[in-house]
Amino acid sequence: MGKPTGFLEYSRKENELRAPLERVKDWNEFYLPISEEERMKQGARCMNCGVPYCQAGMQFEGKTFGCPLHNLIPEWNDMIMDGNFNHALSRLLKTNNFPEFTGRVCPAFCEQACICGIYGQPVTVHNNELSIIERAFEEKKMPRRCPPQYSDKKVAVVGSGPAGLAAADQLNHRGHSVTVIEKYEYAGGILMYGIPNMKLPKRVVQRRIEFMTDEGVSFVTGVDAARPEIAQRLLREYDAVLLCCGAEKPREIGVDHTGVKGVYYAMDFLHGAVERQQLGKEPAVPSAEGKAVVIIGTGNTASDCVATALRQGCRSVIQLVRRPMGDYLNAAGALPQDYAQQEAEAVFGVDPRRFSASVAELISENGELTGIRTNAGETIPCDLLIGATGFAGCAEDVCAAFGVAMNRTVTTEPEHYQTNVEKVFTAGDMHRGQSLVVWAIAEGRAVAAEVDEYLMGYTNLR
């Protein structure tokens, strides 16, 4: 696959980033694609490995090596090199239902496992994947895979995040009648409401929903399946019910904020921002405009909160990181920055992160947050505190409505997805705990195969 000497002849070139001071002025996507000629060179860098670890997707000592979806990466890199983008698309869609999502928000385990990266720079798998799917949509070459005939089986998918959408897509292609139930106004789950527009444009999410609708999937929004009467109706009317409601319960920020206004959790803040900036709503969660913002936590969600606060026009932004700086230094001893930290430094002249720091006390006046005191005794002005502290579990009300057993997540047999309730299955963060979009898609595909086998006695979805 690829050009045998390509990794020696061509240097790694990623999609270009818009300048930080430019991109914080709008909510547009911050990556710029490279030319087709350059993209073909990036495909040519694939080394024709004897063992392509990039697509292994194996886990060892708690870490993931290679793509959880087992994408056929060397194959479509070879086709990119030859300019055969149609064939590249056919190979990509065999393993990944939504490359337009993973090509934007996946941490690229594939690149971390790339052999080319041992002594040099890995292949730009992430960008190559995105180029294939976006080219297909732009040129209207996405194949509509409507099933030639339908079974007499009906499946309800509760939740329209990446796991629910992947399961619905698979089961629809298999020929079952699939209805996706979403409690919010728009389908997409965390893809729509939890990831800012500059990382994942909402037009891209809506484009996929419309595409799936054309292929035969039904979407019903504004219906909360946590209501017992809705749950019972789904159990009566469908042959299988699949719960993909995410990990909605946030982990506590570690300090009592009862009666103090100005404290929110990350998903609520990001959800409100999407409603305000992209959907034209006026949510209860306030904007960061003119506010001194402090964000607790690190990782992708905390960074998205930093970037969102900057675009809303915050007065200042500080990110508190519990662990010491040394835990984040790379092999060269430097402190890497993601897109949000680059932007904060460009706007305020300093990296927003404070390491070995946590909130010890809230300072308020008449119930309004005015500042925080850290574990080191430092007082920081703050009138908007955002907890990006991870998740404590899935939504208990949905589990109660369907009668499924749960602890932090829904209980199933190891490596399986069926719950203790007949014909009820689960997948995604609700099943595996807080995770990534790529793992949610992988779970959605896996649960679809198990549901199909339950309905038909066999499956060809594995």
Q: 154-179, pLDDT tens digit by residue? A: 999 999 999 999 999 999 999 999 99
Q: Which residues contact 143 (CB under 8 A, 6 or more apart)?
A: 93
CA distance 342 to 340: 5
CA distance 298 to 436: 15
Classify burial at 222, counting beta carbons within 10 Å of its beta carbon; exposed 0-12, middle 13-18, buried 19 or more.
exposed
CA distance 76 to 34: 18
272 and 327, same domain (yes or no): yes
361 and 280, same domain (yes or no): yes
Tokens of 164: 């629910």
Any domain includes 1? no
373 and 257, same domain (yes or no): yes
Any domain includes 86? yes
Identity (one letter) of the amino acid at 359? V
Strands 249-250 vs 263-265: parallel, antiparallel or unpaired:
unpaired
Tokens of 25: 């002025």
168 and 126, same domain (yes or no): no
User: Final residue of a domain: which of 389, 411, 446?
Assistant: 389
Any domain includes 195? yes
CA distance 80 to 99: 15
227 and 271, same domain (yes or no): no
Strands 31-32 vs 16-17: parallel, antiparallel or unpaired:
antiparallel
User: Final residue of a domain: which of 369, 389, 409?
Assistant: 389
Q: How far from each other are the two terminal CA atoms of the chain, in whole angstroms?
A: 25
8 A C-beta contact, residue 55 and residue 110:
yes
CA distance 188 to 219: 10
Any domain includes 426? yes
38 and 15, same domain (yes or no): yes
- Among residues 106, 94, 113, 3, the alpha carbon closest in space to that of 51 is found at 113
Q: Give residue 125's domain range.
A: 6-138
Any domain includes 383? yes
Any domain includes 206? yes
- List the CATH number of the domain containing 307: 3.50.50.60
- Using DSSP's 3-state secondary structure scheme, residue 323 falls into coil
Biggest distance spanned by C-alpha atoms of the chain: 69
Any domain includes 147? no
- List the CATH number of the domain containing 88: 1.10.1060.10
Which of the 8 DSSP states describes residue 315?
A: S
Average pLDDT of the chain, as a whole number: 95
Segment 111-163, tens digit of pLDDT:
999 999 988 999 999 999 999 999 999 999 999 999 889 999 999 999 999 99
Angle at 15 between CA 10 and CA 19, to 5 degrees: 125
303 and 400, same domain (yes or no): no
The beta strand positions in 123-271, using DSSP E, are 154-158, 177-182, 218-221, 240-243, 249-250, 263-265
181 and 74, same domain (yes or no): no
Query: 10 Å Cβ neighbour count for 242?
Result: 31
259 and 384, same domain (yes or no): yes
344 and 411, same domain (yes or no): no
Query: 10 Å Cβ neighbour count for 418?
Result: 18
223 and 277, same domain (yes or no): no
- Using DSSP's 3-state secondary structure scheme, residue 216 falls into coil
CA 355 centroid distance within chain = 26
In this structure, the chain runs to a length of 462
Strands 353-355 vs 359-365: parallel, antiparallel or unpaired:
unpaired
Structural domain count of the chain: 3
259 and 382, same domain (yes or no): yes
- Using DSSP's 3-state secondary structure scheme, residue 40 falls into helix
User: Final residue of a domain: which of 331, 365, 389?
Assistant: 389
> How many Å is the Cα radius of gyration of the chain?
23
Any domain includes 123? yes
pLDDT values of the chain reduced to their tens digit, one per residue, 462 residues: 568 889 999 999 999 999 999 999 999 999 999 999 999 999 999 987 888 999 998 887 777 889 999 999 999 999 999 999 999 999 999 999 999 999 999 999 999 999 999 889 999 999 999 999 999 999 999 999 998 899 999 999 999 999 999 999 999 999 999 999 999 999 999 999 999 999 999 999 999 999 999 999 999 999 999 999 999 999 999 999 999 999 989 999 999 999 999 999 999 999 999 999 999 999 999 999 999 999 999 999 999 999 999 999 999 999 999 999 999 998 889 999 999 999 999 999 999 999 999 999 999 999 999 999 999 999 999 999 999 999 989 989 999 999 999 999 999 999 999 999 999 999 999 999 999 999 999 999 999 999 999 999 999 998
Chain position carrying tokens 């930093």: 306
